[in-house]
Amino acid sequence: MINLFDAHLHIIDPAYPLQMNNGYEPPVFTVSDYEKQRAWQNGGGAVVSGSFQGVDQTYVTNALRQLGSGYVGVTQLPSTVTAEEVTALQ
């Protein structure tokens, strides 16, 4: 079995609002779509937040819960975020 780490992936779940960025709205690509596409069973990856997803982290935390412990989130936060809010994302 191959054990790899996907260094950059986006999860685009229609259950969470998107913000058009310069007229671009990405196609849907859910955790289920990702799991069907990946070529390995074990490992992990980095779910990267896109500008079209704004700063609400709910979609990231939901995707990470579904994907499991080998996955991490890379996100953008507003300058007003508190230390407590950052800690809650762990």
pTM listed for this prediction: 0.85
Domain span at 38: 3-88
Instruction: List, for residues 17-76, the tens digit of each pLDDT value.
Output: 888 888 888 999 999 999 998 877 678 999 999 888 888 889 999 999 999 989 999 998
Please report the pLDDT score of residue 88 as a whole number. Answer: 85
Q: What is the dihedral of CA 36, 17, 58, 50, to 10 degrees?
A: 70
Give me the number of domains the chain comprises: 1
Q: What is the dihedral of CA 47, 29, 35, 59, to 10 degrees?
A: 40
